[in-house]
């Protein structure tokens, strides 16, 4: 098991965003986390990637306890992420963004007097990822001038440039058109094979995408794991389908864990 979370609980004051969530991700898996708004999906991703410290529970990455290791530390260990609300460096070009990721991966961020332009490894590394994500033609365009779909791709591409072992994507296709969604997902899956990524975890609202790409689906509801099964089993489970896809979460919760 490459990534494992045991008994994750996260309280925000009285509000219990995660209530004893345990999930595991094996090498080679594509896992989707689904659930209605407020089910705790983003909190789970944030805890798994070190952005948020859990109130209780542990996160293990490659058998090592990484609870509270922080996003930078986890990125260096081989766990990368992208954000729900697209995160780019507005004034940096596509290539510069990817170069920064490669620099970070190679641990060269504190080389003050080395030449970036003459660093072959960084240059080719960034270019390869740009090509992999179909961004090569736009490599000199500043991120802020990119259309939304490309920004999203760049956000994901920069995570891939870290050559992580596992990647956690918080709604990789949110805010982009339906046509772009398929492009993004296909690019992503192709790229993950190219770089030898061993697992993908995504939070996704679009059920067509979830069922088309996932090996396993984890359904969250009110901070708890409602179901953890392959797509076929989820489709057959009427209760899960109703709760997660059919209706919104009934009432806002204020219950203690």
Partner 1 sequence: MKGGLAVALGAAAIAAAPLVASTYHVLLMLPFMAYAVVLLGLNLLFGYAGLVSFGHALFIGLGAYTGAFLTTHAKIRSLEVILLTAAALGALVAVPVAAVCVRYVKIYFGMLTLAFGMVFYTFVLKFYRLTGGDEGTPFLRPSLLGRSLDAMPKIDYLVGPYYYYSLAVLALAALGMWRIVHSPFGLCLKTIRDNPAKAETLGIGVTRQRFYAFVVSAVYAAVGGALLGPPTGNVDPTLAYWTHSGSIVFMTLLGGFTSFFGPVVGAFVFIYLQSWVMSVVPYWRLIFGAMLAAIVILAPDGLMGFVTRRRPALAGRT
- Footprint on this chain of partner 1 (rule: CB under 8 A): 49, 51, 70-73, 75-76, 80-81, 83, 87-92, 96-97, 99-101, 103-105, 108-117, 119, 122, 155, 158-159, 162
> Could you tell me the strand order of the sheet in which 199-203 lies?
79-82, 166-170, 199-203, 30-34, 216-221, 224-229
Report in angstroms how near the CB of residue 167 gets to partner 1 at its nearest. 11
Report in angstroms how near the CB of residue 90 gets to partner 1 at its nearest. 6
From residue 207, alpha-carbon distances to 121, 171, 174, 183, 219 in Å are: 39, 12, 12, 16, 12
How many CB atoms neighbour CB 24 within 10 A?
16
Residue nearer to partner 1 on the CB measure, 88 or 217: 88
Q: How far apart are CA 224 and CA 10, in angstroms?
A: 11
Report in angstroms how near the CB of residue 107 gets to partner 1 at its nearest. 8
Please choose, from the candidates 17, 13, 8, 41, the residue with its C-alpha nearest in 3D space to the C-alpha of residue 253: 17
Residue nearer to partner 1 on the CB measure, 48 or 227: 48
Are the CB atoms for 31 and 227 separated by under 8 Å? no
Report in angstroms how near the CB of residue 254 gets to partner 1 at its nearest. 29
Residue nearer to partner 1 on the CB measure, 110 or 251: 110
Q: How far apart are CA 62 and CA 172, in angstroms?
A: 24
Q: The tokens of 126 are what?
A: 């960034």
Report in angstroms how near the CB of residue 150 gets to partner 1 at its nearest. 16
Residue nearer to partner 1 on the CB measure, 74 or 217: 74
Residue nearer to partner 1 on the CB measure, 75 or 191: 75
């Amino acid at each position: 098991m490459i990534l494992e979370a045991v008994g994750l609980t996260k309280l925000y004051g009285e509000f219990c965003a995660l209530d004893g969530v345990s999930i595991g991700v094996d090498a080679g898996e594509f896992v989707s986390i689904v659930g209605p708004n407020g089910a705790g999906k983003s909190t789970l991703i944030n805890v798994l990637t070190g952005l948020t410290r859990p109130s209780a529970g542990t996160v293990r990455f490659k058998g090592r306890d990484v609870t509270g290791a922080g996003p930078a530390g986890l990125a260096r260990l081989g766990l990368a992420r992208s954000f729900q609300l697209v995160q780019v460096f507005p004034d940096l070009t596509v290539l510069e963004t990817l170069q920064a990721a490669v620099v970070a991966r190679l641990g060269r961020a504190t080389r003050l007097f080395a030449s970036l332009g003459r660093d072959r490894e960084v240059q080719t590394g960034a270019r390869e990822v740009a090509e992999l994500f179909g961004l090569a033609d736009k490599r000199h365009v500043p991120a802020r001038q990119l259309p939304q779909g490309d920004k999203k791709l760049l956000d994901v591409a920069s995570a891939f440039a870290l050559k992580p072992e596992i990647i956690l994507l918080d709604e990789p296709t949110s805010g982009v058109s339906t046509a772009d969604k398929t492009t993004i997902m296909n690019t992503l899956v192709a790229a993950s094979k190219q770089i030898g990524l061993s697992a993908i975890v995504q939070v996704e609202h679009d059920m067509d995408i979830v069922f088309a790409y996932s090996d396993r689906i984890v359904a969250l509801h009110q901070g708890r794991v409602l179901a953890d099964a392959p797509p076929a089993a989820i489709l057959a489970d009427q209760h899960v389908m109703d709760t997660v896809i059919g209706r919104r979460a009934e009432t806002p919760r204020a219950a203690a864990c």
